[in-house]
A and B are shown apart, each in its own frame.
Chain A
Amino acid sequence: MPDWLAALLITLLKGVLVALALLTTFAYMTLIERRLLARMQIRHGPNRVGPGGLLQPLADAVKSIFKEDLRVTMADKLVYTMAPIVAIGMALTAFGGIPAGPPGSLFGEDPWVYNLDAGILALLALTSMGVYGIFLGGWASGSKYPILGGLRSSAQMISYELGMGLSILGLLMLVGSTAFVNIVEWQAQSGWMLLFQSLGFALFLVSSFAEVNRTPFDLPEAEQELVAGYLTEYSAIKWALFQMAEYVNMITASAIMATLFFGGYRGPVFLEGLIPGISGWPIIWLVVKIAFFLFLFIWVRATLPRFRYDQLMRFGWKLLLPLALANTMMTAAYLAFARGLGLWPLALLSLLGLLALFAMSDRVRVLWNRPTGRPHTDDALPTRPLGGD
């Protein structure tokens, strides 16, 4: 077998394995999410199919495959069919670029499906294509609520993409490379990026939630207002494909956060004393970190109510974007003037910024500041609506 054919086959094999793993994770994520939500809301959740409800995903899969695939009269047939495929395709493709271990650590192969030089940029590009699935699905359904959901989602995702891209600029300047492996190895040398870019991480976390349309940013499918948003006219397997795309996007977002800010595929070094080489094991550390973030996604869903649309936009454009810019400027200033001092001043500055944010948030401010109603005089300055950002 020639070399290129072997390389091609191995890449194909890795791609198929990653896709299978992601889809299995999706199936069980739905169960885990329902069980965890139930636990957080003091009820039982699905526990009848199989021991502890473990076969529930299987039953759901069988149901959605054999359910009748509805044809919508007003739909644009081609786009209507393509939209879920685009959504899941982009979601699965994006995950393949994330390294799950050091080069050559997976039985002598590289533990990633493809490796573009542009690394994180390429991944952001792919995830930004995911909006087409939702957007076109909403439009192609040919009815009112889906198109409203689609319009909302495109406005939301474009807005938060900016904050997302800007919030990692500081990180990229520190590392000096956009390739994932370089970012992870930099962190292995200097410590987790979370320490030095805590403000950037907070901004990235929030924008990630918005990018994957999870609560509190699930406005595209706000069921109280839009029935189910872009999903309204979809049923059976097409509906399931959209769900898959959402969960796979969640997994990808978790993996990106783990890789950029939490040391990626590297485990904690202090375990090296017990088992030598453990921090270099492929896959396992990334999976642990992804699981943590997935739990966070579910936890937030059980905790926070949905944003109102104007709050969403105000938050994205007036808070997230300027703060991300400020973070970039701060890191740039540090790199230009104070590089010789070591990394701790940057860590301190980021932490201070984050604490200031917490102190100024509406949840904390009311502790010492009585909430004010809107004054009735006409010439008073407008106050913000209570609650919200």
Chain B
Amino acid sequence: MIAFMLLGALALVGAVITITARNAVHAALGLVGTLLSVAGLFASLSASFLAAIQVIVYAGAILVLFLFVIMLLNANQPITGRDPVPFVRELAGIGGVILAGALAIIAFSYRDPRPLAEGAGALRGGTAVAVGETLLTRFLLPFEAVSILLLVAIVGSVALVKRPVPQPDGLTDAEGVALPTESPERTAPEGGVRA
């Protein structure tokens, strides 16, 4: 209970830092704090698999990418001057209210995929059996849909990053694409690092 209060407070502090910090890197670090506190909450509820995944995926990968982009684009300058979009605060307020409403509906209409006690029992001992079983039986379709969604996102980002290949004379575009004339590193995600 003490751990829960402490971690909950930490998560809130991190969230407040995230939206109030002037410096984008500090905001991202606040978000890291929130995510880690949520992972701690999971761990204190003895859902250690979920906690580990939370840290690996969110704090360890996604936020690092966030920071990477912030530093690469040098977007960590403090925001000054007027907002380029008028009414942005009002719009954000409306969006926030809608989001809170949606979360409330989810929270009150939530039904466990399995009884909570059974699920917690199955998660003990470090196995991910319960998670895997539920994902691949009951939620198979959404699970696969998400993987297709991710694949589409990856293909889309590669297509966006790809620069037009200068074609040698006498080759049509179609032939040029078929030949791997461009060095593959160009399109790989690390292409921007050396820039």
Measuring CB to CB, which residues of chain A are less than 8 angstroms from any residue of chain B? 76, 79, 116-119, 121-122, 124-126, 128-129, 131-132, 135-136, 139, 147, 150-152, 154-155, 157-159, 161, 165, 176-179, 182, 309-310, 313-314, 317-318, 378-379, 381-382
Contact = CB atoms under 8 A, between A and B. Distances in A.
6 contacts: A116-B43, A117-B48, A124-B52, A178-B127, A178-B128, A309-B193
- What is the predominant secondary structure among interface residues of chain B facing chain A? helix
Contacts, number: 120
A117 B46 contact: yes
Interface string B155-195: 00000000000001000000000011101110010100110
Given A309-B193, A379-B179, A151 B168 contact: no
Contacts of A155: 68, 190, 193
Interface of B: 23, 25-26, 29, 32, 36, 39, 43, 46, 48-49, 51-53, 55-56, 59-61, 64-65, 67-68, 71-72, 76, 123-128, 168, 179-181, 183-185, 188, 190, 193-194
B193 A152 contact: yes
Contact of A128 (B60, B71, B127, B184): B60
Contact of B68 (A119, A124, A154, A182): A154
Contacts of B184: 314, 318
8 smallest CB-CB distances across A and B, nearest first, come from A128-B60, A179-B126, A125-B55, A121-B52, A117-B126, A118-B52, A118-B48, A117-B48
Contacts of B49: 117-118, 121, 178
A182 B126 contact: yes
Contacts of A122: 48, 51-52, 55
B181 A119 contact: no
Contacts of B127: 176-178
Q: Is the interface of A mostly helix, strand, loop or mixed?
A: helix
A321 to B, nearest CB: 12
A197 to B, nearest CB: 19
A298 B123 CA distance: 40
A125 B60 contact: yes
A144 B56 CA distance: 29
A378 B165 CA distance: 14
A125 B52 contact: yes
Contacts of A158: 61, 64-65
Contacts of A182: 125-126
Given A151-B68, A161-B60, 14 more contacts: A116-B43, A117-B49, A117-B124, A118-B126, A122-B52, A124-B56, A139-B25, A154-B64, A157-B64, A158-B64, A177-B127, A179-B126, A379-B181, A382-B183
From A122, A152, A378, A382, name the one whose CB has the most chain B CB atoms within 10 angstroms. Answer: A122
Given A117-B46, A135-B67, A129 B179 contact: no
A158 B66 CA distance: 12
A139 B59 CA distance: 18
Contact of A151 (B71, B123, B128): B71
Nearest to A138: B71
